[in-house]
Amino acid sequence: MTLNTQRIIEPESLNAASFAPFGEVIHPSTAKKEWAINDGNTTRFHDVANLVPGDGGRVIASIFRAQPRELPFTVTMMERHPLASQAFIPLSGQPWLVVVAPPGSAPQAADLRLFVCRPNQGVNYAPGVWHHPILALDAVSDFLVLDRDGPGDNCDIITLDEPAVILPVLSQGR
Amino acid sequence: MTLNTQRIIEPESLNAASFAPFGEVIHPSTAKKEWAINDGNTTRFHDVANLVPGDGGRVIASIFRAQPRELPFTVTMMERHPLASQAFIPLSGQPWLVVVAPPGSAPQAADLRLFVCRPNQGVNYAPGVWHHPILALDAVSDFLVLDRDGPGDNCDIITLDEPAVILPVLSQGR
């Protein structure tokens, strides 16, 4: 594989600031408010994702069971949900990858951003944010997914004009 | 402690049938529908909880960080959320306990049911179902919580006329 002739997506660490153009990081550290409940036995990190079911929709919870991908991985397509947000919360204690591009017209390879997610970091994609389907690593991984049930077509898929490659990055992210 | 003079809550294993009077078990095995997505790389276990935000409410996602409890544990109170459902999905890979009683008038100790939850089993309490606050075990444990943001008083708390005791039960549930 002649990687040096292919476009490489540089990995970034995931945090509230770096991910702000795309939605929210779901993690206690990103909560806007927190307080003690249950006589002090529990801390509530409140409302950590802007869940948007969209007009006529409702928020539903599902579980996605993802097969792990091998790196290097070539990104050839992206998708978006124009009507509603979509949140992914890892349940299997494995790191994972997020590839996103800003909402708007179909992204080019140069628009892609790669975030290396720790096993306890979820994300919520704002409506219309382009993203790659789940990229689990190392093992079959379950994710709780919060998205929309409702009428209308809520998935657009595009093929990139030029693919982009994710190199093995996990030593940087773990 | 003279346990033999106290009311003991017998542990039950958690599954869709045993928990049906109280809500849903959140686990791939309880999904009503599942199908392959992402070119076969992912299975979607669809809509695994009946999330009810209630009139004028919206579903929000929060993280609860629970301190572990020691067994035996004496249950002295219960609470309910009359307006909306409340779901708990464990994120820390630890077993945990659920104590519930049917919706309706304030429960008595004899009404309590104890479910031993595996680390990958969440639950969704239907509106009005009496439940004890989170009972984490062994270690500080995070839970994703899906409940209501909206107007009105959505929490009733009662003190049991007679307490009830949870004995060390985990060898049965793990």
- Kindly identify which residue of chain B lies nearest to residue A43, measuring between CA atoms: B65
In sequence order, the β-bridge partners of residue A28 are none
Model confidence band, residue B124 (pLDDT cutoffs 50, 70, 90)? very high
The Cα of B77 is separated from the nearest Cα of chain A by a number of Å equal to 11
The per-residue pLDDT for A169 is: 75
The per-residue pLDDT for B173 is: 44
Length of chain B measured in residues: 174
B47-77 pLDDT, tens digit per residue, is 999 999 999 999 999 999 999 999 999 999 9
The per-residue pLDDT for A5 is: 75
Task: Indicate the range of A104-113, B35-44, B142-151, B164-173 predicted with least confidence.
Answer: B164-173
Q: Are A124 and A51 in contact (CB under 8 A)?
A: yes
- CA dist., res. B73 & res. A91, Å (int): 28
Interchain contact A62–B (C-beta under 8 A):
yes
Burial of A138 (0-12, 13-18, 19+ CB in 10 A): middle
The per-residue pLDDT for B133 is: 98
- Kindly identify which residue of chain A lies nearest to residue B79, measuring between CA atoms: A38
- Kindly identify which residue of chain B lies nearest to residue A31, measuring between CA atoms: B62
- CA dist., res. A146 & res. B25, Å (int): 16
CB contact under 8 A, A61 and B146: yes
Q: Are A48 and A120 in contact (CB under 8 A)?
A: no
In sequence order, the β-bridge partners of residue B68 are B136
**Average pLDDT for residues B98-106, to the nearest whole number?**
97
Residue B172 lies in a domain: no
Nearest to A173 by CA among A10, A20, A6, A3: A10
Residue B8 lies in a domain: yes
**Is-cis flag, bond preceding A103, omega within 30?**
no
Residue A60 lies in a domain: yes
Residue B25 lies in a domain: yes
pTM of the model: 0.95
Say what percent of chain A tops pLDDT 90: 93
Residue B119 lies in a domain: yes
Interchain contact B49–A (C-beta under 8 A):
yes
Sequence-ordered list of residues with C-beta below 8 angstroms from that of A120, at least 6 positions apart, any chain: A27, A90, B91, B142
Cα A139 vs. chain centroid, distance in angstroms? 18
CB contact under 8 A, A26 and B61: yes
Q: Which of B61, B64, B69 sits opposite A51 (nearest CB)?
A: B61
The per-residue pLDDT for B135 is: 98
Please give, one letter per residue, the 3-state secondary structure of chain B: CCHHHCCECCEEECCHHHHCCCEEEECHHHCCEEEEEHHHCEEEEECCCCCCCCCCCEEEEEEEEECECCCCEEEEEEEECCCCCEEEEECCCCCEEEEEECCCCCCCHHHCEEEEECCCCEEEECCCCEECCCEECCCCEEEEEEEEECCCCCCEEEEEEEEEEECCCHHHHC
In this structure, what token pair is assigned to residue A78? 């992206």
Torsion angle of alpha carbons A122, B58, A57, A147, nearest 10°? 10
Suggest the residue from B63, B86, B159 to mutate for an interface test with chain A (most A CBs closer than 10 A): B63
**In the predicted structure, residue B84 carries a pLDDT above the cut 50:** yes
The Cα of B4 is separated from the nearest Cα of chain A by a number of Å equal to 28
**In the predicted structure, residue A174 carries a pLDDT above the cut 60:** no
In sequence order, the β-bridge partners of residue B131 are B79, B100
Q: Which structural domain range is residue B72 located in? A: 3-166
The Cα of A5 is separated from the nearest Cα of chain B by a number of Å equal to 27
**In the predicted structure, residue B44 carries a pLDDT above the cut 80:** yes
A69-90 pLDDT, tens digit per residue, is 999 999 999 999 999 999 999 9
The total number of structural domains in chain B stands at 1
B31 neighbourhood in chain A, CB within 8 Å: 62-63
Q: Are A95 and B73 in contact (CB under 8 A)?
A: no
Q: Which of A44, A45, A59 sits opposite B59 (nearest CB)?
A: A59
Interchain contact B32–A (C-beta under 8 A):
no
The per-residue pLDDT for B172 is: 43
Q: Which of B48, B61, B66 sits opposite A41 (nearest CB)?
A: B66
The per-residue pLDDT for B86 is: 98
Residue B12 lies in a domain: yes
Residue A174 lies in a domain: no
**In the predicted structure, residue A170 carries a pLDDT above the cut 70:** no
CB contact under 8 A, A61 and B91: no
Please give, one letter per residue, the 3-state secondary structure of chain A: CCHHHCEECCEEECCHHHHCCCEEEECHHHCCEEEEEHHHCEEEEECCCCCCCCCCCEEEEEEEEECECCCCEEEEEEEECCCCCEEEEECCCCCEEEEEECCCCCCCHHHCEEEEECCCCEEEECCCCEECCCEECCCCEEEEEEEEECCCCCCEEEEEEEEEEECCCHHHHC
**Average pLDDT for residues A23-45, to the nearest whole number?**
96
CB burial readout A29-66, b (16+ within 10 A) else e: ebbeebeebbeebbbbbbbbbebbbbeebbbbbbbbbb
Model confidence band, residue B169 (pLDDT cutoffs 50, 70, 90)? confident
Q: What is the CATH number of the domain that holds B61?
A: 2.60.120.480
**End-to-end Cα, chain B, rounded Å:** 26
